[in-house]
């Protein structure tokens, strides 16, 4: 078979598998809807409408897209070398906390100072949250899966403590902080919608990632991910790479936390990381660890999350279903990828 | 590659004198008829017919790549032949696996991976036994093994963890287990590859005792002298076919060599080069033990330009640590390492793990040391065009043919992969080359190519350290040979003025 | 003194679910499978067990249903990761997100009001339970406790006295050689994973039905991962896992009891068990007993060609 025909057949196979995958997901999720005494067709319609049906719905999708895409892009370098950082929820919380401290206390400064400061401190907060697991992994070979998860719980619990205690806002009985001063709000594009300029940061991250992929550093990541032994031979400091990539992931998640705090409700709240936290990892994996793919899948998941949020009102369905859908999609996609595997895990 | 003047085995060991003429009444335990096996387009075996009789040592002699390993795996049941059939005690049998082979009385002792290191000998035995009960009785199993060991005059430690045993102890344990399970035919695949000379001395009488007890020992090897010493019958394989059958009385070295190689080999004349300046010097260097290997204990060595220093010694005496410290991967904890330049090339033992990144492209693999080079970058990004051209030139010079440089390294053959490693490593004109068992897994022509590359690098001024457990490999090209034993370096022998026998004796006498 | 006794009693009650799940994970990891989806298996059992108990009041039925639920989730894991050779961590993580969300969803959709299941009867061993201090703690607990102890013994016997246990261990250290020795690595790992799922589901029921008497979304709260840490600290042996589970149970019980006595923020106290887990991870960092092939996918096809 000539190279061209083989390629066409491959594309055809891929499309066919994708169709099968989508079919399986729809079928299985409908089953779950049934078990939950909900109407799947209504549910799907509400979700689609909620995400794309109106301008405000679409801007809500964008609102979720920016932090999600940022988390996902940030996870790519560490995933490339085989590290599973599932600490995004904790890192988002840490970043949101740092940003809130800046926003609340320095809110008097003009916006062009407050915003960058808040952003940077969020990045620092997120990176710090990832630092201990990174060190544990680099120096003691402690599994980063377990350590980042532990830090999730520790950080979120700490945040909850702060928001019901020292940092408690004036709205009684809600675990949240005071509202941010207006200078600390993330500016939006269009009046009335909540889609904010965070999307510019996503574009910047995308550009940076593309540049990275083609650079010597990108080469070193690729190499280290393919062969630790050869990486050492080429003089790559493995510990250095582990710490750097995990902290980059933490910083990106931290900035996402700032977006959540400064863009959604303009205050810090306890569930700041839900449900972006774990979905970010899925988006990165589904995107095949390539920058464009990750952005596309992040958009898809953002739409899913937005649609899920409209279910409560639109179809009287608990929004927990989004977690189910996300996990289900991941499972089915992984199963399909396995059937389609050549050399290497993700092609 | 084969030296005619050799005498590995000390002839003071008693030769068997009685009853070794061909005995037609000796029952053939196992017979293979017309066996053929191919892997894709490569024909590994073609029309091989043999029998193995009780009470004899039947040696199968052949070079690397002659088909011995494939034959062994078919015999023991691991592989199924494409053509021909297997007869055990007169009945046609199709074996379904190693355990099935064991149940039929065929036991196999391979060079590695026959035992699970983290378990004890008794535990390995219990897993191997085709009729083990669900309930474990470790002490009974232990006594079964000790009992059998006594009848063979062996000392074993079945309750020790296997990875704490020496290579020789492990081998004897495997033979013992095969025996107790009930093997009539015991296949030994390259049994002396990793043994010290004095452990070989234990193996020979063991084999004789096994044979006296009525079993058949199938001895697979490429070593002529061992065959001359121990075999009752010899079958020579070349390129997957049987090219010679000899009885003990007909054994003659020259004939055997000709059969194995297909031509009369010329003695290789080594050109002597005057060695130049010292490139690297180890001065009483000690290296810490790591989880996977032992360390060095006050090793001293110096290597000069235009010389090849052969490091002889049994696996597990510090070879890996020596390679690592020469490559600059670990710091000595005692002593001093002085090195003229840091351009060190490394040809590894395990290509797939240490030589190449199999899933990455050929281009990526060749760019290992050069990816930071200015000329491959434009504005911070890697320039694929200049890289492609550079890589294609390199491939051409190395004589590797590949459809595209973007294909993964795993798409190349073993020999080409090793050529790739050498091309990349020698590209930077290294001052020091560390070759650790570089011929492993290569066929004759590929090994020859590696040899030529090393000699050429030497002639161009590099210092070469060649680490290998195979004395023949060292003898071929080394300017001088030293021994690595228990993490120390001793002795210095000129291969031109001694025999492999003397070398072997020194190895055996100096340690353990 | 009564404070400490009540802490000890509670620590047993809270430690039993963890012990059960950790035993299951022990079996899986000894065979070479790392089960990130443990949390999913546990929450499946927690939910199903609770529902069956609330509907029927039959504890045995609830236990069986819970084990079955966990086993089903494990079936997905086994099918994909072992038979389909998908990355174990990926599959497990997807299950970790999907199944707890599914149980939360079903619970919220189907339960109109707060349902509480009755506390299980305490089975006291007469005589032994009169021992001062420890009598009530060790010999007067509900049936989950006794089953858990019995399972400890069973698993210990499995790994130390049976051929199957040896085969499992072989698969975990060196699946290639184990295959050569005639062990079917795929079946052993599948069996181990399914058993792990059943035990995890059972442990989930031990939590909702045995200890708490109620269900809420997220009730398993990371216990699945704590179990993995417990296996590491326990050096992949039953005795070690038992001690680790007891330690965590104690920490949890302690912080629950003390929060009612001392005026200290609840959330900060809740951080305590997690800090202990972190310390456990650090302490267990150097252990060499880890099954050498843990987490590595194994292809029997590749092995027989090698």
* Sheet arrangement for strand B91-93: B42-53, B28-39, B83-88, B91-93
Chain C residue at shortest CA distance from B100: C182
How far does CA C298 lie from the centroid of its chain?
25
Q: Is residue B228 part of a domain?
A: yes
How far is the C-alpha of C96 from the C-alpha of C223, rounded, in Å?
12
CA distance A318 to A312: 6
What DSSP line would sit under C140-197, residue for residue? EE-HHHHHHHHHHHHHHHHHHHBHHHHHHHHHHH-HHHHHHTT--HHHHHHHHHHHHH
Please give the residue range of the domain that contains residue B499: 278-343+429-509
Chains A and B form CB pairs within 8 A to the count of: 55
Provide the terminal-to-terminal Cα distance of chain A, rounded to the nearest Å.
21
Nearest CA in chain B to C286: B291
Q: How far apart are CA B93 and CA B84, in angstroms?
A: 11
Distance of CA C302 to the CA centre of its chain: 33
Q: How many CA atoms lie within 13 A of B342 on its CB side?
A: 6
ipTM attached to this prediction: 0.85
Boundary-marking domain end, from B260, B287, B316 = B260
The answer to whether C169 contacts chain B (CB < 8 Å) is: yes
Distance CA B423, CA B421 (A): 5
CA distance C166 to B135: 11
Q: Is residue C122 part of a domain?
A: no
Split into its structural domains, chain C has a count of 1
> Which of B225, B260, B295 is a domain's end point?
B260
| Domain annotation covers residue C117 | no
Tokens standing for C168?
């499992």
Q: What's the first-to-final CA gap in chain B, in angstroms?
A: 30
Cβ-based neighbour number of residue A24 at 10 Å: 17
pLDDT tens digit at each of 512 positions of chain B: 333 323 333 333 333 333 333 455 678 888 888 889 988 777 889 889 998 999 999 999 887 667 888 898 888 888 889 989 898 888 888 888 888 888 888 999 987 778 988 899 999 999 988 777 888 888 999 999 999 998 888 888 899 998 888 878 888 999 999 989 888 899 998 887 667 666 778 888 899 999 988 899 999 987 777 888 889 999 998 888 898 898 888 888 778 877 776 655 445 556 667 888 888 888 888 988 876 677 888 899 999 999 999 998 777 778 889 999 998 888 899 898 888 877 899 999 888 888 899 889 999 999 898 888 888 888 778 888 888 889 998 888 888 888 888 888 888 888 889 999 999 999 888 999 999 989 877 777 788 889 999 999 998 889 999 998 777 788 888 888 898 887 888 888 887 777 665 665 555 443 22
| Partner-chain contact A323 C104, CB within 8 Å | yes
**Polymer length in residues for chain B:** 512
Question: Is A32 close to C101, i.e. CB distance below 8 A?
Answer: no
Q: What architecture is the A38-316 domain classified under in CATH?
A: Orthogonal Bundle (1.10)
CB contact under 8 A, C86 and A150: no
Report chain A residues whose CB lies below 8 A from the CB of B367: 219
Q: How far apart are the first and last CA of chain C?
A: 64
pLDDT tops 80 at residue C289: no
Asked if B358 reaches chain A (Cβ–Cβ under 8 Å), the answer is yes
CATH number at residue B198: 3.40.50.300
With 80 as the cut, is the pLDDT of residue C41 above it? yes
In a domain, C133, yes or no: no
Strands (E) across B54-201 are located at 57-61, 83-88, 91-93, 106-109, 185-189
Which residues make Cβ contacts (< 8 Å) with residue B18, sequence separation at least 6? none
Q: Which residue, among A272, A275, A267, A288, has the nearest Cα to A334 in the 3D structure?
A: A288
Q: Classify residue B365: in a domain, yes or no.
A: no
Cβ–Cβ below 8 Å for A331 and C278: no
Long-range contact set of residues C282-287: C-beta below 8 Å, sequence gap at least 24: C282/A136, C282/A140, C282/A142, C283/C233, C284/C229, C284/C232, C284/C233, C284/C235, C285/A136, C285/A140, C285/A141, C285/A142, C286/A140, C287/C232, C287/C235
Any CB–CB contact under 8 A between B364 and chain C? no
Task: Please answer yes or no on whether C105 and A153 come within 8 Å at the CB atom.
Answer: no
The verdict on residue B133 lying in a domain is yes
Same domain, B235 and B308: no
Tens digit of each residue's pLDDT (9 = 90 or more) over C51-73: 998 888 888 999 999 999 999 99
Question: B115 at the C interface (CB within 8 A)?
Answer: yes
Q: Does C294 contact B at CB distance below 8 Å?
A: no
CB contact under 8 A, C99 and A150: no
Its domain, for residue C270, covers: 2-112+140-301
Residues 6 or more apart whose CB falls under 8 angstroms from that of A107 comprise A114, A180, A181, A182, A183, A184
Chain C positions in Cβ-Cβ contact with residue A157 (cut-off 8 Å): 267-268, 270-271, 274
Compute chain A's Rg from CA coordinates: 21
Residue C299: predicted pLDDT? 64
Closest CA to B483 of B498, B472, B471: B471
**Interchain pair B382, A344: CB under 8 A:** no
Give the count of domains, chain B. Answer: 2
Whole-angstrom distance, CA of residue B463 vs CA of residue B447:
20
Q: What pLDDT, in 10s, does the model give residues A120-143?
A: 999 999 999 999 999 999 999 888
CB B51 within 8 A of CB B31: yes
Q: Which of B201, B228, B260 is the last residue of a domain?
A: B260
**Is C82 part of a structural domain of the chain?**
yes
Question: What is the residue-wise DSSP string for C199-236?
Answer: HHHHHHHIIIIIIIS---TTTTTTHHHHHHHHHHHTTT
Do residue B118 and residue B194 come from a single domain? yes
Assign residue C174 the CATH number of its domain. Answer: 1.10.3470
Q: Please tell me what DSSP assigns to residue B293.
A: S
- Sequence-distant (≥ 6) Cβ neighbours of residue C219 within 8 angstroms: C43, C46, C207, C208, C212
User: Contact A233/B356, CB-based, under 8 Å?
Assistant: no
Of A211, A215, A223, the CB nearest to B360: A223
pLDDT band for C94, please (50, 70, 90 cuts).
very high
Query: Which of C172, C239, C157 lies closest to C28, judged by CA?
Result: C172
**Domain range summary for chain A, segments of one domain joined by +:** 38-316
**Does C124 map to a domain?**
no
The answer to whether position B215 is within a domain reads: yes
Distance from CA of A148 to the nearest CA of B (A): 27
Query: What average pLDDT does range C232-247 have in this prediction?
Result: 92
> Residue B244: beta bridge partners?
B236
Residue B292 lies in a domain: yes
Q: Which residues contact A210 (CB under 8 A, 6 or more apart)?
A: A291, A292
Tokens 């330049």, residue located = B341
> Is residue B372 assigned to a domain?
no
């Amino acid at each position: 078979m000539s190279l061209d025909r083989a390629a066409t057949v491959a594309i055809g196979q891929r499309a066919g598998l994708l169709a099968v995958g989508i079919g399986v997901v729809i079928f299985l999720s409908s089953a779950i809807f049934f078990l939950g005494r909900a109407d799947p067709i209504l549910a799907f319609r509400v979700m689609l409408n909620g995400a794309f049906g109106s301008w405000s719905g679409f801007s809500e999708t964008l609102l979720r897209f920016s932090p999600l895409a940022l988390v996902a892009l940030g996870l790519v370098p560490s995933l490339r070398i085989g590290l599973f950082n599932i600490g995004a929820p904790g890192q988002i919380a840490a970043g949101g906390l740092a940003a809130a401290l800046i926003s609340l206390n320095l809110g008097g400064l003009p916006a062009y100072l407050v915003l960058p400061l808040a952003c940077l401190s969020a990045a620092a907060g997120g990176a710090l949250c990832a630092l201990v697991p990174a060190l544990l992994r680099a120096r003691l070979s402690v599994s980063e899966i377990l350590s980042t998860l532990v830090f999730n719980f520790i950080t979120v619990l700490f945040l909850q403590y702060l928001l019901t205690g020292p940092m408690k806002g004036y709205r009684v009985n809600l675990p949240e902080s005071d509202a941010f001063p207006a200078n600390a709000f993330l500016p939006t594009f269009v009046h009335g919608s909540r889609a904010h300029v965070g999307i510019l940061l996503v574009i910047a991250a995308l550009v940076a990632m593309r540049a990275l992929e083609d650079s010597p550093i990108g080469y070193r990541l690729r190499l280290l991910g393919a062969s630790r032994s050869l990486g050492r031979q080429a003089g790559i400091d493995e510990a250095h790479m582990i710490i750097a990539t995990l902290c980059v992931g933490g910083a990106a998640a931290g900035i996402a936390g700032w977006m959540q705090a400064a863009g959604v409700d303009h205050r810090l709240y306890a569930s700041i990381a839900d449900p972006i936290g774990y979905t970010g990892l899925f988006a990165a994996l589904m995107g095949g660890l390539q920058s464009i793919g990750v952005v596309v899948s992040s958009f898809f998941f953002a739409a899913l999350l937005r649609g899920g949020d409209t279910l409560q009102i639109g179809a009287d369905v608990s929004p927990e279903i989004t977690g189910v859908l996300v996990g289900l999609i991941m499972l089915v996609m992984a199963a399909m990828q396995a059937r389609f595997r050549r050399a290497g895990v993700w092609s | 590659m084969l030296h005619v003047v050799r005498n590995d085995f000390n002839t003071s060991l008693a030769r068997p004198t009685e009853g070794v003429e061909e005995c037609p009444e000796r029952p053939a335990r196992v017979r293979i008829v017309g066996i053929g096996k191919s892997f894709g387009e490569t024909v590994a075996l073609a029309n091989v017919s043999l029998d193995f009789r009780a009470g004899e040592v039947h040696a199968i002699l052949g070079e690397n790549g002659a088909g011995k390993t494939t034959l062994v795996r078919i015999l023991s049941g691991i592989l199924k032949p494409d053509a021909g059939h297997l007869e055990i005690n007169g009945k046609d049998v199709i074996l379904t696996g190693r355990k099935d082979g064991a149940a039929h009385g065929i036991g196999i002792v391979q060079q590695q991976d026959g035992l699970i290191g983290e378990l004890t000998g008794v535990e390995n035995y219990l897993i191997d036994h085709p009729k083990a009960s669900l309930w474990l009785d470790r002490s009974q199993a232990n006594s079964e093994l000790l009992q059998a060991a006594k009848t063979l005059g062996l000392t074993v430690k079945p309750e020790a963890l296997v990875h704490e045993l020496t290579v020789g102890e492990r081998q004897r344990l495997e033979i013992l287990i095969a025996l107790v399970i009930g093997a009539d035919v015991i296949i030994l695949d390259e049994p002396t590859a990793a043994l010290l000379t004095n452990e070989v001395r234990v193996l020979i009488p063991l084999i004789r005792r096994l044979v006296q007890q009525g079993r058949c020992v199938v001895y697979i090897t490429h070593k002529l002298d061992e065959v001359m010493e121990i075999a009752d019958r010899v079958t020579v394989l070349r390129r997957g076919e049987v090219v010679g059958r000899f009885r003990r009385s007909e054994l003659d070295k020259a004939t055997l060599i000709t059969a194995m190689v297909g031509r009369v080999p010329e003695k290789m004349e080594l050109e002597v080069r005057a060695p130049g300046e010292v490139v690297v010097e180890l001065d009483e260097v000690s290296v810490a033990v790591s989880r996977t290997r032992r360390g060095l204990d006050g090793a001293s060595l110096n290597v000069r330009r235009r010389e090849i220093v052969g490091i002889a010694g049994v696996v597990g005496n510090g070879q890996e640590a020596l390679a690592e410290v020469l490559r600059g991967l670990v710091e000595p904890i005692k002593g001093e390492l002085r090195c003229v330049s840091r351009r060190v090339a490394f040809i590894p033992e395990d290509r797939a793990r240490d030589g190449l990144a199999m899933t990455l492209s050929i281009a990526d693999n060749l760019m290992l040391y050069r990816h930071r080079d200015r000329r491959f970058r434009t504005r911070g990004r890697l320039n694929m065009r200049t890289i492609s051209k550079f890589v294609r030139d390199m491939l051409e010079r190395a004589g590797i043919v590949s459809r595209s440089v973007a294909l993964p390294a795993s798409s190349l053959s073993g020999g080409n992969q090793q050529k790739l490693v050498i091309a990349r490593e020698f590209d930077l004109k290294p001052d020091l080359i560390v070759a650790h068992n570089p011929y492993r897994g290569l066929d004759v022509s590929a090994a020859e190519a590696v040899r030529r590359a090393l000699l050429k690098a030497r002639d161009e001024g590099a210092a070469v350290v060649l680490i290998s457990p195979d004395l023949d490999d060292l003898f071929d090209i080394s300017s001088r040979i030293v021994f690595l034993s228990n993490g120390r370096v001793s002795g210095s022998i000129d291969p031109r003025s001694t025999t492999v026998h003397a070398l072997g004796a020194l190895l055996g006498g100096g340690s353990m | 003194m009564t404070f400490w006794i009540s802490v000890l009693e509670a620590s047993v009650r809270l430690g039993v679910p963890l012990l059960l799940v950790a035993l299951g994970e022990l079996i899986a990891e000894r065979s070479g499978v790392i089960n990130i989806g443990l949390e999913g298996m546990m929450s499946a059992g927690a939910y199903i067990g609770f529902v069956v108990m609330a509907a029927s009041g039959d504890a045995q039925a609830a236990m069986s249903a819970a084990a079955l639920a966990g086993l089903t989730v494990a079936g997905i894991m086994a099918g994909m990761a072992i038979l389909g050779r998908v990355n174990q961590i990926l599959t497990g993580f997807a299950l970790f997100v999907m199944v707890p969300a599914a149980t939360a969803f079903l619970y919220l959709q189907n339960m109109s009001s707060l349902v509480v299941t009755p506390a299980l009867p305490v089975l006291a061993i007469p005589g032994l339970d009169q021992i001062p201090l420890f009598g009530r703690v060790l010999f007067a607990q509900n049936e989950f406790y006794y089953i858990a102890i019995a399972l400890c013994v069973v698993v210990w016997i499995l790994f130390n006295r049976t051929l199957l246990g040896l085969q499992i261990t072989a698969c975990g250290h060196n699946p290639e050689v184990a295959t050569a020795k005639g062990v079917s690595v795929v079946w052993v790992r599948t069996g181990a994973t399914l058993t792990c799922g059943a035990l995890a589901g059972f442990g989930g029921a031990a939590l909702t039905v045995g200890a708490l008497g109620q269900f809420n979304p997220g009730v398993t709260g990371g216990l699945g991962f704590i179990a993995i840490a417990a296996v590491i600290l326990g050096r992949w042996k039953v005795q070690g896992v038992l001690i680790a589970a007891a330690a965590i149970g104690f920490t949890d019980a302690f912080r629950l009891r003390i929060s009612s006595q001392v005026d200290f923020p609840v959330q900060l106290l809740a951080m305590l068990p997690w800090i202990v887990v972190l310390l456990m991870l650090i302490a267990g960092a150097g252990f060499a007993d880890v099954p050498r092939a843990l987490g590595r996918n194994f292809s029997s096809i590749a092995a027989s060609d090698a």
